[in-house]
Structure 1
Amino acid sequence: MNIHREEDAMAQQDRERLVELKNVVVEFESSGGTFRALDEVDLSIWRGDHLAVVGESGSGKTTLGRVLVGLQPFRGEFASEIGGARSALTPARTSRQRRQRVPGDISIQMVFQSSESSLDPRWTAVAAVAEATARGKRPSAAQRAEAERYLTLVGIPPHRHRAKASELSGGQRQRVAIARALALKPDLLICDEATSALDVATRASIITLLTELKHDLGVTLCVITHDFTTARALSDTCIVMKSGRIVEQGATAQIISNPQAEYSQQLLAAVPRLQVTGPRPADEPLMSALDRTILTGQKSD
């Protein structure tokens, strides 16, 4: 495995390690035999990190996200350090244990790719957010007020707070999903391809929103994506996954500008190059031009 070693070890000592995975393995049984979705993965996420997990379909990145949020049984060790106390979870090996938990007092929430499947279409936006904080009970007036605050924070106008999920656009539903996750005050927010199903303009607005939230709220962010431009917009550090393994990790900008793993080079080479009129400025790097194209809709060659 090729690794960019840019982290300052002394600086890390002053931060909390929210996630420490060691030798994590996830396997699925099928008619063709055993498929290893995660293959002895080691990973640390520190409070304040903005991490991207990049890879093509089948690389294991979504399975990794499901392990982090407590939805996927696994073998190995999952530990966290909150407030100076370390707690570890070493789950059973069988996939029969469906109610996995994350260690200690850490709170991890996930925003999924499809807001249609994660939101009840019959519920209003405010009900969807308030219900999450009420944890199965009837939301109080204070919880509903807090839900409205988070909806406003993510850009849902007050006159849409009582619209049903089925009446909202795809971008608005994704904002509601983000508000619901934030209302639970997570230590770590995971976004699993949260913008990939959206049109270019809506995708740009959600990326802008997440950028603002990570700075304004201090949210530690883990972005799961197949797209290096999204990774560059939202992350400082990056891991590249292939066939359930981490093949490269380091600063996002450094991996994009100087990828060491052959697979990372292949992913970057696969980024489409648009054929349009008007030259790209000579001093503008290709990835910068692609960022501008995808995030704003402005085209460049």
Structure 2
Amino acid sequence: MRFKTQTFETSPVALETAKLSVNLPDTPGQPQVLESIDVTIRQGETVCLVGESGSGKSVTSLAIMGLLPEALKVSKGRINLQGRDLLPLSQAQMRELRAARVAMIFQEPMTALNPVLRVGDQIMEVMELHTNYPASERRSRAIAIMEQVHLPDVERVFRSYPHQLSGGQRQRIMIAMALVLEPVLLIADEPTTALDVTTQQQILSLIAELQTNHGTAVLFITHDMGVVAEIADTVYVMKHGEIVENGPVEQILRHPQADYTRKLLSSVPSLSPRVARPEKGEVVLEVESLDKIYGGGGILKKLPQTHAAKNVSFTLTRGRTLGIVGESGSGKSTVARCIMRLIDPTSGRIMLDGHNIAGLSRNALRPHRQKLQVVFQDPMRSLNPRWTVAESLIEGPLNYGTRRADALAEAARMLTVVGLPENALKRYPHQFSGGQRQRIAIARAVMMRPDVLVADEAVSALDVSVQAQVLTLLEQLQDELGIAIVFITHDLRVAAQICDEVIVMQHGAVVEKGAAAEVLVNPAHEYTRALIEAAPGRSWDFQNFREMTEVTHASPA
């Protein structure tokens, strides 16, 4: 692993927080959300702020931006931007600084961009608010920054709305908006978490390139230690609102001092595939020559067709996991939705326990749905926010004739299986963390005793430690119940740790398939090789920390 070796000790300080503390003012006796946070970022330096959900990373960034929710208050400390304390400033003064001196890139550009404004107008709006540039210069500068972030066909993209662009293109627009006024500090809050590995690599390279060109200080918030290994100069590790360790990236990744840092490093999945499970069960799912074509209709004008899945075939036996990997737009989720019959395939067969469900009507499909369940990426959107956990868990069994008392008893048992207390039955989704909600979503699916579980990016938004727990849970459920899993992911590290076989998709077609140990170690197709090369921190072996942590935990106190 080649770490960045440049030092910034003599560079001017761009941002410094001193003893920054944030609390809930109406809850005396409660622990502070942030406790005495000291962070220094110098001009041209990339500082990574890492930790699990709830560690205080995003609260730190919102405090710097002056965007804390009303319930949170800075109780003490300073936030100095080039020597100017931001805390005494009014909201009007902070609005003048945002974008002009300090800018932020959020995780999900689709929620940060205005859906009814063309993206070019949104970039120009930043300049309209903070400069006196005439309209012609605003437009030329917007075009120039869009070219700097390597957007294709800039004039077309300039006129496009957010929904007409890919996820990677939308994130590039967010970066363009953030950098168009050349701020002193750029805060990037998980900007690549939801992106596939090649787009992620492009965005990380782009931020580094623009940082070099503009001398910008970057505060990069992430839970991905592979990303940290790629881009960081300095690392701050946060836990429960406190900094537990900080130092140069090589020191933190090679010689971590805090147990918590070692735990984070040990949770990073390895790119080395696990030992495959034996093929000893019967075939539970067989997909043969599956095709899905979108479009092609139209009354006045024939619309273009999109061949989202082309001649996809595979078999899956009981108790094994098949991974489907590829970039966004490769057809992974289309195949998953066809298998689930959430969309109708154009042609092909989907054999579930010997029954072809590809062309069944809604009523004819109903008896088979019990054997085919799904876990989506975002459990907050797939769980009903107005229902208790108990109501969510028992809905499926009740629909298939299980008595309510029996369903509730099974729900209580299932919660213990996924590592949650029985009293969670009476609570609502918003009262849980992201990892806990995903455990509830898995429990809901397993309540149906399915033969096949489709996991569509089910761990991509989770912290590495929570991700490791959920992957372990899925394996335990496989051992106990013999469930077969179709695992959709863009993260090759995750695929290596859970999949027995792997299918690699590009532009709707399968370009390579085989045993995970073969495909991920000795890829035959150039596209597979490109995906593996794009994995962040690919040459860094986190396995040493996993073994170290296991030895530490196994040792007597």
90 and 165 in structure 1: CA distance in 2 versus 1, 3 angstrom threshold:
closer
- Alpha-carbon shift at residue 211 of structure 1 (Å): 2.1
Max radius of gyration: which structure? 2
1: CA distance between counterparts of 2:543 and 2:449? Answer: 30
Q: CA RMSD in A?
A: 3.2
- Alpha-carbon shift at residue 186 of structure 1 (Å): 0.4
> Which of 464, 472, 477 is residue 200 of structure 1 equivalent to?
464
> Which of 180, 189, 193 is residue 453 of structure 2 equivalent to?
189
2: CA distance between counterparts of 1:189 and 1:74? Answer: 19
1:66 corresponds to which letter in structure 2? R
Match of 1:67 in 2: 338
- Alpha-carbon shift at residue 103 of structure 1 (Å): 9.3
> Which of 15, 19, 22 is residue 285 of structure 2 equivalent to?
19
Find out whether 1:270 has 2:527 as its counterpart: no
Match of 2:325 in 1: 54
- Alpha-carbon shift at residue 137 of structure 1 (Å): 7.7
Match of 1:39 in 2: 310
Find out whether 1:132 has 2:396 as its counterpart: yes
> What secondary structure, in the 3-state scheme, does the structure 2 residue paired with 1:101 have?
helix
1: CA distance between counterparts of 2:499 and 2:543? Answer: 14
Question: Once structures 1 and 2 are overlaid, which stretch shifts more, 52-61 or 19-28?
Answer: 19-28
CA contact (8 A) 2:344 2:358 kept: no
> What secondary structure, in the 3-state scheme, does the structure 2 residue paired with 1:258 have?
coil
Find out whether 1:107 has 2:371 as its counterpart: yes
CA contact (8 A) 2:505 2:512 kept: yes
CA contact (8 A) 2:452 2:484 kept: yes
1: CA distance between counterparts of 2:410 and 2:327? Answer: 38
Q: How does 1:1-301 map to 2 (within 5 A)?
A: 15-29=281-295, 33-80=304-351, 82=353, 86-91=354-359, 101=365, 107-135=371-399, 140-273=404-537, 286=539, 289=541
- Alpha-carbon shift at residue 221 of structure 1 (Å): 1.3
- Alpha-carbon shift at residue 49 of structure 1 (Å): 2.2
- Alpha-carbon shift at residue 99 of structure 1 (Å): 7.5
Report the count of equivalent residues: 269
Provide Cα deviations, 1:272-293, integer angstroms capped at 9, x if missing partner. 127xxxxxxxxxxx48x25778
2:356 corresponds to which letter in structure 1? A
41 and 219 in structure 1: CA distance in 2 versus 1, 3 angstrom threshold:
same
Superposition TM-score, scaled by structure 2 size = 0.44
81 and 54 in structure 1: CA distance in 2 versus 1, 3 angstrom threshold:
closer
2: CA distance between counterparts of 1:19 and 1:251? Answer: 17
Question: Once structures 1 and 2 are overlaid, which stretch shifts more, 193-202 or 173-182?
Answer: 193-202
1: CA distance between counterparts of 2:432 and 2:468? Answer: 18
User: Is there any run of 5+ residues in structure 1 with no aligned partner, and where?
Assistant: 1-6, 275-285
Superposition TM-score, scaled by structure 1 size = 0.79
Provide Cα deviations, 1:40-71, integer angstroms capped at 9, x if missing partner. 21122222321111111111111111111121
